[in-house]
Amino acid sequence: MIARIQEFDSPMPSRVIGQDGKPNFGRYCHPFLEVNLDTVALAPPIPGFPKSVAYGRFRLKEWQHFAIITPSIFISFALVDSKFAQLAWCQVIDRRTGRKLNYERRGIYPGMHIARELSNDRSILELRNFSIVIDNHLGSGGHTILVDIKGDSKQPNIRAQLRCEHDLSIIEPMVVVLPVSGGRAMYSHKVPLPVAGWLSVGEEEFALSAGNGIAIVDIHKAHYPRHTWWHWATCAGYDSHGRLLALNLTHNVVENDFEHNENGFWENGRLLPLGPARFVFDAKDPLVPWRVHTLDGAVDLSFIPAGFRHENVRTGFVNSKFHQCYGTYSGIVRTEHDVIQLESFFGLAEIHDSKW
């Protein structure tokens, strides 16, 4: 018997932070009109210092991440603003040969901007030889993306022009506001979308269209505690019936993930909520196969990693350990009326532990 946790909250509030200054905790299947976490006043961990919006903005972690899956090529890219520093990266995996390409920029970039709202705002970093521009315009149906990265003697140029179509009447996003520490909030907007356009890797060009390309969109803002950790799994693909299936599972610093989590399964645009997720993996060797499952019995998957990107940053005040593996998921997802078999669905699995 599958024990479902609470369904989506209704009615949908317009703001992440309400007029009373408190987060609208819950799980929703529509976007917020105003993602106003940057209005929250926080007190620094120094005796006698009052709360301030400026410190709240300094503590706000935010990013946009896209993982785009096709039968032959995989590309993922992100713009990340931790306030201590900014990070942009792009990874390309040739699924035919296993070849991996990584491009990264890390530093202090005043010109980086992460979109506040999705209705009409832009996430952008434009540097010499490295540019990622994400235009979010859910009011007119989706996201457009431009990538232009110059390679070197070891890696080719990467260019892309993509559009992720999002008809809210057909595909439900998973939008959550979760408590993470002391009443602080984590906001996330995740959704699998059909994607069209083109991607070039050096001289080779790939055409993307609905039916052969899926974009997993991950938009995130949070007032995380100093010590933060999470395990994350996501995958997407089309089954033998032509249905777009996708999954998002997370186990993180949310204390009661029976009540609050961001776990869900998409079946042709319909989003089904899931219970708490748990991950079994070898922390010393993340390339050992994983088990990913939910405590409600709905999901039981094996993940076979094919490779990973990682970081181990130690600067004294900021320490971050991160592995993002890519590979394939196989196993079962039980819905109310069906048992769905996933066979070699491509996706990501992530281990993150940081003090920031």
- What tens digit of pLDDT does each residue of 280-314 get? 999 999 999 999 999 999 999 999 999 999 877 66
CB atoms within 10 A of CB 102: 11
Residue 185 predicted with pLDDT over 90: yes
pLDDT grade for 240, boundaries at 50, 70 and 90: confident
At residue 311, the pLDDT reads 77
Residue 13 predicted with pLDDT over 90: yes
Strand runs (DSSP E) across 70-203, as ranges?
73-81, 86-94, 100-107, 121-127, 130-137, 142-149, 158-165, 174-181, 184-201
Contact 236, 246 (CB under 8 A): yes
Contact 53, 41 (CB under 8 A): yes
Residue 356 predicted with pLDDT over 60: yes
Tokens found for residue 83: 């306030």
Average pLDDT of every residue of the chain: 93
Q: Could you tell me how far CA 115 lies from the centroid of its own chain? A: 14
**260: Cβ contacts below 8 Å, ≥ 6 apart:** 25, 27, 176, 178, 179, 254
Tell me how far apart the alpha carbons of residues 265 and 4 are, in angstroms, rounded to a whole number.
12
pTM for this model (two decimals): 0.94
Mean pLDDT for the stretch of residues 192-216 = 95
44 three-class SS: coil
At residue 5, the pLDDT reads 45
CA distances in angstroms from 208 to 122, 141, 211, listed in the order given: 22, 18, 9
**338: Cβ contacts below 8 Å, ≥ 6 apart:** none
At residue 1, the pLDDT reads 36
Mean pLDDT check: name the lowest of 86-100, 248-262, 310-324: 310-324
* 3-state percent breakdown (helix, strand, coil) of the chain, nearest 5: 5, 55, 40
Tell me how far apart the alpha carbons of residues 206 and 329 are, in angstroms, rounded to a whole number.
24
More confident residue, 323 or 37: 37
Tell me how far apart the alpha carbons of residues 283 and 133 are, in angstroms, rounded to a whole number.
34
Domain ranges of the chain: 26-355
pLDDT grade for 115, boundaries at 50, 70 and 90: very high
At residue 314, the pLDDT reads 67
Residue showing tokens 């010393």: 284
Residue showing tokens 């990584």: 102
The percentage of residues in the chain with a pLDDT greater than 90, rounded to a whole number, is: 84
At residue 316, the pLDDT reads 64
Q: Which of 35, 33, 78 is nearest to 60 (CA)?
A: 35
